[in-house]
Amino acid sequence: MATSPDSTDSTRRWVATLIVALLLAQAGLWAWRKIRPPEQSVAQAGLQHKIAASMAYDTALLRADSLLTAADTVAASRLLDSLSRQPTAGLFPIERQKLQQLQQRLSGGRPVSAAARRARSSGSPAE
């Protein structure tokens, strides 16, 4: 089955036009993604920043807790004073609760750990 040279050229042009159109569409999508800032990434970056700040704050709270457990109240007091001066509006509420619990523990308001409560109720030396 022989095809005429005109129909072969026409088919080639049609295929070439289709390929060029697909490539242009792909380039347009790529350019659109590059130009348009993704809205979710801004929200995700904000959340990641909040999580990182909360983790750093929580690490400092854990350090203060270990200082209190080791009976180093001077260092724990300094650390808790420093933490209480930091703005906590951007943190999760649990960090503020932990800070209050540690401040109460430092002032002798109440023992935080279950081991300290058991030790006090059994009459054995605390921690």
Task: Render pLDDT for 95-107 as a digit per residue (tens, 0 to 9).
Answer: 889 989 999 998 8
Asked if the structure places residue 87 within a domain, the reply is yes
Does some domain include residue 28? no
Structural domain harbouring 103: 44-122
**Among 88, 110, 108, which Cα is nearest to 99's?**
88
pLDDT at 118 over 50: no
Burial bucket for residue 6 (CB in 10 Å: 0-12, 13-18, 19+): exposed
Q: Tell me which residue has tokens 């026409």.
A: 10
Instruction: Take residue 12 and report the two structure tokens written for it.
Output: 């080639």
Judge whether 10 lies within some domain.
no
Total-model pTM: 0.52
Please count the structural domains in the chain: 1
- Note whether residue 8 is domain-resident: no
Task: Examine residue 114 and state whether it is found in any structural domain, yes or no.
Answer: yes
- Is 22 a domain residue? no
The predicted-structure confidence for 29-70, as pLDDT tens digits, reads as follows 999 888 886 666 778 888 888 899 889 999 999 999 999 888
With respect to residue 37, please indicate whether it lies within any of the assigned structural domains.
Answer: no
- The most distant pair of C-alpha atoms in the chain lies apart, rounded to whole Å, by 106
Residue 100 lies in a domain: yes
